[in-house]
Every structure is written in C-alpha cells, then in structure tokens.
C-alpha cells in the first residue's frame, strides 16, 4: 500500500511540474509573442486565476500522499509549493481592481513577477518529486 501511495504522490507532483513548465515556458511567452498586449494580459490573468489554485490543490494532494507514504520531506516541500501557487494566484497575479485615483499602478511588473515566481516554483516542485521518489 505504501508503494501505491508513493506512486500516487509522484504522479500528482509530476502533474504540478508539468503545469509549471507549461505555464512559464510555453503559455506566458507565447501569449505575449502572438497576441496584442491587452489580450495577452487578460489571457495570462485568466490562466493564473483558474490554473494556479488547481495546481495548488494537486500539490496539496501530492503532499498528503507523500505524508502517508512516509516521505516527510517531500510532503513539506510539496505543501510549500502549494502555498507558493496560492501566492502567485492571489498576491502577484494581475488584479481586476479599479485604477487608483492618485498615481498609476504598474501591472506589467506584476505579470513578470508572477511568471518568474512560477519559474521558481518549478525548482521547488522538482525537489519535491526527488524527495518523494527517494521516500525522504
């Protein structure tokens, strides 16, 4: 039973890894290459708002599976990656709130920071996959 749960954790962690690579290396750059800036921003915003919480949920499932399999380190790392996905989705993602009355808001930097945070999450998820695979 422990090997099945460990394998489930590996599969879930691999799904999260695939999402981070797809978003940060394919979707985000291609959106800004092929679409005009306004449409690309809206597409990235919608993708982050729907995809990152789902990736956080899957990373949480990988953490729970790793915990039940005895890979405590992998569970901690995957739980941290779930928290980072939530931060990227709700803290750094471009927002829909109205423009402030005084001054202006920089949304381009928020998009870049959110995409770079997703790239950094990739390293954390890789560490989680390795730790779960080694049952650490």
Residue 119 near residue 23 (C-beta atoms within 8 A): no
Tell me which residue range forms the domain holding 64. 2-95+106-133
> Is the Cβ–Cβ distance between 131 and 113 less than 8 Å?
no
pLDDT for res 58:
97
Token pair of 99, please? 């423009």
- What secondary structure letter does DSSP report for 26? I
Please compute, for residue 81, the number of CA atoms within 13 A of its CA located in the half-sphere on the CB side: 36
65 within some domain: yes
Structural domains of the chain, count: 1
Contact 100, 111 (CB under 8 A): no
Contact 57, 89 (CB under 8 A): no
Q: Is residue 100 part of a domain?
A: no
In a domain, 121, yes or no: yes
67 in any annotated domain: yes
Q: Which residue has the higher pLDDT, 13 or 30?
A: 13
Residue 53 belongs to some domain of the structure: yes
Which pLDDT band holds residue 65 (cuts at 50, 70, 90)? very high
Residue 101 falls within a domain, yes or no?
no
Kindly tell me the sign of the dihedral angle through the C-alpha atoms of 95, 96, 101, 107: positive
pLDDT tens column, 90-113: 876 656 666 666 665 555 665 676
Would 26 be classed as within a structural domain?
A: yes
Give per-residue pLDDT as tens, 24-35: 888 888 888 898
More confident: 74 or 106: 74
Beta carbons within 8 Å of 34's beta carbon, 6+ residues apart: 40
- Dist CA 92 CA 55 (whole Å): 16
């Amino acid at each position: 039973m422990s090997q099945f749960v460990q394998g489930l954790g590996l599969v879930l962690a691999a799904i999260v890894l695939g999402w981070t690579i797809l978003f940060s290396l394919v979707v985000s750059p291609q959106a800004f290459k092929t679409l005009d800036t306004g449409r690309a921003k809206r597409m990235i915003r919608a993708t982050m708002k729907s995809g990152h919480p789902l990736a956080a949920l899957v990373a949480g499932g990988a953490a729970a599976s790793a915990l039940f399999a005895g890979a405590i380190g992998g569970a901690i790392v995957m739980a941290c990656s779930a928290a980072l996905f939530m931060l990227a989705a709700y803290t750094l993602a471009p927002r829909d709130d109205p423009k402030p009355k005084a001054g202006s808001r920089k949304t381009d930097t928020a998009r870049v920071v959110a995409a770079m945070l997703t790239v950094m999450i990739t390293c954390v998820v890789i560490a989680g996959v390795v730790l779960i695979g080694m049952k650490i």
